[in-house]
Amino acid sequence: MAESVTIARPYALAIFRLARENRQLPLWSDRLERLAAIAGDAAMSAVFGNPKFSAGQVADLVISLCGDSGESADRELCAFVGTLAENERLTVLPQIHELYEQLKSADAGARDAMVTSAYALDDAQLNALISELEPHFGSKLQVRVEVDPALIGGIKVVVGDQVLDASVRGKLEAMAAALKN
């Protein structure tokens, strides 16, 4: 995993810079999402590693599946996919998409936050939570929510490498660790 992220980082950075320069951040976000879905397909994974297909053939197939239009857009997309195919890097498209989204969020001054809750949160609860978390983490947050009943109660928030664990399960684990010491 770490190796694929390392490989994907320069591609994500290059596409991000191109998209920002051309004011096409949402367009490339959509493109990369489609490309990541294509790369994640099991049948396509078999094509990527098949020596019977040239890099050009694989790139053409991926571009045809992407369904993008526009003359200059096609040129940029074709060049990008062609470069990935030539360097046998099409399999890292999901990581490129993920890194691109992180760069886009950082550029907008926002950070991704993963909130895990023991129970589903309604919109009012989520908005109240976000308004309390943003000052704590010092930035605007783009929140994704998962429900994990194993937490028993409370929430767990992950922003970058920072973890805020206010779950019952987390508190029980902390108590168990304290008792062992």
Domain identity same for 167 and 150: yes
Domain identity same for 6 and 78: yes
Would you state the pLDDT for residue 12?
95
Domain of 17, in residue numbers: 2-105
Q: Say what percent of the chain tops pLDDT 90.
A: 72
pLDDT in tens, 130-163: 999 999 888 889 899 999 999 999 999 999 888 9
8 A C-beta contact, residue 96 and residue 32: yes
pTM greater than 0.85 = no
Q: How confident is the model at residue 164 (pLDDT cuts 50, 70, 90)?
A: very high
pLDDT of 2 above 70: no
DSSP H stretches of helix in 138-167: none
pLDDT in tens, 100-112: 998 998 888 888 8
Domain identity same for 64 and 117: no
Domain identity same for 86 and 163: no
Q: What DSSP string runs through 55-114?
A: HHHHHHHHHHHHT---HHHHHHHHHHHHHHHHTT-GGGHHHHHHHHHHHHHHHTTEEEEE
Domain identity same for 14 and 79: yes
End residue of a domain, out of 75, 105, 135? 105
Distance separating alpha carbons of residues 18 and 80, to the nearest angstrom: 11
Structural domain total, the chain? 2
Domain identity same for 88 and 22: yes
User: ∠ at Cα 25 (142, 75), nearest 5°?
Assistant: 150
At residue 40, the 3 state secondary structure works out as: helix
8 A C-beta contact, residue 20 and residue 107: yes
Domain identity same for 122 and 63: no
Calculate the CA 11 to chain-centre distance.
14
Domain identity same for 117 and 175: yes
pLDDT in tens, 8-67: 999 999 999 999 999 999 999 999 999 999 999 988 988 988 899 999 999 999 998 887
Domain identity same for 83 and 133: no
Domain identity same for 101 and 17: yes
What is the amino acid identity at position 108? Answer: A
